[in-house]
Amino acid sequence: MKISDGIFKIKGDGSVYVILGSKVVVIDTSNIADGPRIEKEIEKIVPLEKVNFVLLTHLHYDHVGNVGLFPNAEIYASAEEIWDYRKDTDRFHFYVNEDVDKILKEKLRPLPNEIVGLKIVRVPGHTRGSVAFLDEKRKLLFSGDTLFTNDIIGRTDLPNSIPEKMDESVAKLVKMIEDDKLLLCPGHGY
């Protein structure tokens, strides 16, 4: 589904976003069970080997399951998320195979404050290292599992959630959306 010029959303267990430009970016990769369909849909937009960056809002299974589809991509998540994952994978409500686990442990790089024209917005709550990505030029906010449409917010009852931070993170995103008239691109379709 085309969201804007050069921006596509692929629905899966988790939403996958493809951004075309001088560099090709994928935000989140859905559940591994969605792999064949995600692969097919992305291939309609761009060859998988042409994806330069995979940016992850957090490291739950329904957002990282298909990181292995992109052989030439650099893979990024927040430094906090990487550290927490490497320290205790089981706290990540995790159901992926050994290949995905190996990629995450070996290839993940910490996000800078901005990457390929996207600003990183730190939104702890759903996980300690959750982030959103702000595309100021196109007025898009990729919120991961912090905020969904219809005022639904992400879960905070998971082992690596920080419930006391969620209200502040949601308020930050809502203010950005209202002040800058942003289109919300959430991590799930609900």
Outline where DSSP puts E strands in 28-170: 53-55, 74-77, 108-110, 114-115, 118-122, 131-135, 140-144
Residue 184 corresponds to which tokens in the numbers above? 């919300």
Percent of the chain topping pLDDT 90: 84
Note whether 60 and 34 are within 8 A (CB): no
Note whether 163 and 156 are within 8 A (CB): yes
Q: What is the pLDDT of residue 88?
A: 81
d(Cα 190, Cα 174) in Å, to the nearest integer? Answer: 16
Note whether 175 and 184 are within 8 A (CB): no
Coarse DSSP helix, strand, coil percentages of the chain, rounded to the nearest 5 percent:
35, 25, 40
Q: Where are the domains of the chain?
A: 2-186
Domain at 2-186, CATH homologous superfamily? Ribonuclease Z/Hydroxyacylglutathione hydrolase-like (3.60.15.10)
pLDDT tens, residue by residue, 122-180: 999 999 999 999 999 999 999 999 999 988 889 999 888 999 999 999 999 999 999 99
Amino acid at 101: D
- Confidence band, pLDDT 50/70/90 cuts, at residue 89: confident
pTM of the predicted protein model: 0.95
Note whether 142 and 115 are within 8 A (CB): no
